[in-house]
Amino acid sequence: MSDIAAQAGVSIASVSRALSGSSGVSEATRTRIRRLAAELNYAVSPDAARLAKGSRGRVAVVTADLAHWFYASLLEGIMTALRGSDLDVLLYEVKREEERRRFFDELPARRQVDALIILAFPVSDQERLQLDLMGVTVVMAGGTLGDRPHVRIDDVEAARQATHHLILAGHERVALINATGRWRLPYAGPQDRFQGYLGALRDAALPGEPELVVQAEWGSSGGADAMARLLSLPRPPTAVVAFSDEMAFGALRTLRRSGIAVPHTLSLVGIDDHEMADVVELTTVRQPVLELGREAGALVYRLLNDETVEEQHVTLPTQLVVRGTSGSPRTVG
Amino acid sequence: MSDIAAQAGVSIASVSRALSGSSGVSEATRTRIRRLAAELNYAVSPDAARLAKGSRGRVAVVTADLAHWFYASLLEGIMTALRGSDLDVLLYEVKREEERRRFFDELPARRQVDALIILAFPVSDQERLQLDLMGVTVVMAGGTLGDRPHVRIDDVEAARQATHHLILAGHERVALINATGRWRLPYAGPQDRFQGYLGALRDAALPGEPELVVQAEWGSSGGADAMARLLSLPRPPTAVVAFSDEMAFGALRTLRRSGIAVPHTLSLVGIDDHEMADVVELTTVRQPVLELGREAGALVYRLLNDETVEEQHVTLPTQLVVRGTSGSPRTVG
DNA sequence: ATCTCTTACGTAAGCGCTTGCGCAACCAGT
DNA sequence: ACTGGTTGCGCAAGCGCTTACGTAAGAGAT
């Protein structure tokens, strides 16, 4: 920067002002300095700038998982929203319960960030407190976090849509493959979807049969297991809604291997609209993950640039996508 | 930090030394200071530290895509390798050709990073020059970049394995669904895999029939199109190898819709071992993406901590995974 | 011509660390 | 007791910026 100042015949203060866009320099000098900086391929050091003004321009994204569609898509959305802004993204992954705790403990050390976006994992009360202490802006993407800003879908409604679709097709024995949390802390997703499922049954005056609700580990093999258990029931369901598309994929594999015709003998619907859902023609309830991410990114941006943020809680709509795995129950002869 | 110094009755210099682990403080003072810092929940400001010592501890990961399995998995691997190290990860996404150019132009402004990991996208000569100018450590993950450090698989070999497997099963008309680059710059992957395919045919003294090699856009719909084209051939192939599992998935959908029995009428093998490959029982050549990422992360770590790095070019082995979509050609009656 | 207000710019004091250098104090060796 | 080598620590000079404050010059008003 002193180079530029010397060459332009001004003080470094002016250079700083010219480059940062703050007032106090004439337009003439500003453009002259800018041009010079461009020529010399010069750019201010973010570190020094940050140090001098006390941090600005970095947001951390914390996730429990990266390699899976949902999280990767959220992240993609966030990146899209933040691209072109002057915000840099710092990425953290906390896979295990204990790593998560450590992350929050070390948060002060991370005091290099101005905001935190949490990708859909539960946060304990204690951790919530730590966040408060830090005083950083926090946005939850794909869930809720007390009354802090969040971007999410209505899980109850999503499950209701899936279940309702099957009921409407004439099914009366509709099962639910739900996910068990990967966390010790209660996480809202599975509970909400269970409620949505129940709600749809209730609306149709259908009895909720406990044996038709099975829990399995999140993921496709969990789905496969769960479906196997449902099939081994004395009276198997004629339709099942899965917690997620991935679990539905696993279920589909079990069905294929068991030689059960879909949707002729059994209908299946997932929740997500995973990129592969189209490929295997899975009926599902679409969750706009990319947009969730984008909204989350936009939200922190607004929060950080304290534009007036009218609504800090955004809930995006889900939508039924009917494909090949759902149909009317076979009229048993 | 001055707080700590005051409370411990030493100078801030000693505190800095104690906390950073550098020598020049007695063990006694060091532990005393450390304890105090822990109590006061204090951590050094990374910005200030970086400014003072001239940057250290940040690596940028640049990718063209995030929402897809391959990239997300690479990233996951990198994060895993870097977790626990003192390196922070800054994430950049450059989707379009022009964004990529801008990224490299603005690289100086990013001079906050000590290393760059590029996730499998081509880099022009000009951009390579810019990298040289910057003097940052660069590692290419999932490809090569001149003679710079890289971590990758042998694409030629992968395609050869896939093709060989089909030939071994007795197929003589083996097609290749190749990907067209998403970039204007030539990217090695498709070319190498084409060579591998050709090599396997040659080894088996099989003629390479041009009509059996089709190009399509990367992705499952590209695969679907390509397969449709192959099926409309006067003499369709009895087996096809797809550039990637995703393209194979698309191909599989076309086959299912066309009512063609797999592998009875037609065998299909992909390359990747995508998480969904298992679900749809796709035979494929496994590419250890997570490990690629991990190796890349470990590599930059070593490079940055100038441990002696014997081999900066690591090529990980691929491996055939036989599942349900490949078999012997039907003996035509 | 004088006074005030604005505008353009420079001066210098930090921001919170790291580190080269110097100074005591202490250890051994002779 | 005297010298030379360690060791533990403080001093202070930065690292590359931002910004409050001060100053000088020009614009407008009287």
* Residue A47 touches partner B, C-beta closer than 8 Å: yes
Burial (Cβ within 10 Å: 0-12, 13-18, ≥19) of residue A168? exposed
Q: A213: part of which helix (H) or strand (E)?
A: strand A213-217
The pLDDT value given to residue A331: 59
What's the rounded Cα separation, in Å, for the pair B124 and B94?
A: 14
| Contact predicate B309/B303, CB 8 Å | yes
How many angstroms separate the CA of A37 from the C1' of C13?
Answer: 26
Strand C: which of residues 118-177 in chain B lie with Cβ below 7 A? none
Contact of B219 with B250, CB cutoff 8 Å:
yes
Q: CA of B9 and C1' of C21: distance in angstroms?
A: 22
3-state secondary structure A111-148: CCCCEEEEECCCCCHHHHHHHHHHCCEEEEECCCECEC
Least Cα distance to B178 among B161, B160, B197, B157 occurs for: B197
Is the CATH code 3.40.50.2300 the one for domain A58-148+289-315?
yes
Q: B125-134 vs B97-105: helix axis angle to the nearest 10?
A: 30
* B203-207 long-range Cβ contacts below 8 angstroms, 24+ apart: B203/B160, B203/B164, B204/B164, B204/B167, B206/B167, B206/B172, B206/B174
pLDDT in tens, B107-140: 766 667 889 999 998 888 888 888 887 778 899 9
For the stretch B71-81, pLDDT in tens is 999 999 999 99
Query: Is B55 or B194 the better-scoring residue by pLDDT?
Result: B194
Beta strands A319-321 and A283-286, pairing class = antiparallel
Which residues does chain A have with pLDDT short of 50?
A: 333
Determine contact: A249 vs chain B, CB below 8 A.
Answer: yes
Q: Which amino acid is at A15?
A: V
Query: Would strands A267-272 and B313-316 be described as parallel, antiparallel, or unpaired?
Result: unpaired
- CA-CA distance, B114 to B111, in Å (whole number)? 8
Q: pLDDT digits over B193-209, tens only?
A: 999 999 999 999 999 89
Residue B236: which of B305, B99, B329, B127 has the closest Cα? Answer: B329
- Predicted confidence at residue A111, as pLDDT, reads 64
Assess A252–B contact: CB distance below 8 Å, yes or no.
Answer: yes
Greater pLDDT, A306 or B157: B157
Chain A closest-CA separation from residue B227 CA (Å)? 14
| Averaged pLDDT of chain B | 90
CA distance A92 to A117: 10
Average pLDDT over residues B83-98: 89
pLDDT of residue A1: 84
Q: What is the pTM of this model?
A: 0.90
**CA distance linking residue B158 with residue B319, whole number of Å:** 8
Determine the Cα–Cα distance for residues B38 and B45; give it in Å rounded to an integer.
14
Give, as one character, the DSSP assignment of residue B220.
Answer: H
pLDDT at A105: 81
Nearest protein residue to C8's C1' (by CA)?
A25
pLDDT at B333: 41
Reference B271, options B168, B142, B87, B127; nearest CA is B142
- Tens of pLDDT, residue by residue over B218-240, are 889 999 999 999 999 999 999 99
Residue B304 or A71, more confident: A71
The predicted structure's pLDDT at residue B260: 92
Q: Is the CB of B51 under 7 A from strand D?
A: yes
* Residue A186 CB-half CA count within 13 A: 4
Q: Do domains A58-148+289-315 and A155-287 have the same CATH topology?
A: yes
Return the SS3 of A318. Answer: coil
In angstroms, how far is D20 C1' from B114 CA?
34
In the predicted model, is pLDDT for residue B82 greater than 60?
A: yes
All residues of chain A having their beta carbon less than 8 Å from the beta carbon of residue B71 are 72
- One CATH from 3.40.50.2300, 3.40.50.720, 3.40.630.30, 2.60.120.330 for A155-287: 3.40.50.2300
- For CA atoms B326, B327, B329, B331, the dihedral sign is negative
Taking CA atoms, what residue in B is nearest to A111? B45
Instruction: Verify whether the Cβ–Cβ distance B220 to A278 is below 8 Å.
Output: yes
Q: Is residue B300 pLDDT above 80, yes or no?
A: yes
Residue with tokens 């971590």: B151
A108 in contact with B at a CB cutoff of 8 Å? yes
**A52 contacts chain B (CB < 8 A):** no
Q: Identify the closest residue of chain B to A253 by CA–CA distance.
A: B279
Q: What confidence score (pLDDT) does residue A114 get?
A: 86
Residue of B nearest to A70 (CA): B67
Average pLDDT over residues B101-110: 77
How many Å apart are CA B14 and CA A211, to the nearest integer? 66
Q: What percent of chain B has pLDDT over 90?
A: 64
In chain A, domain spans? 2-44, 58-148+289-315, 155-287
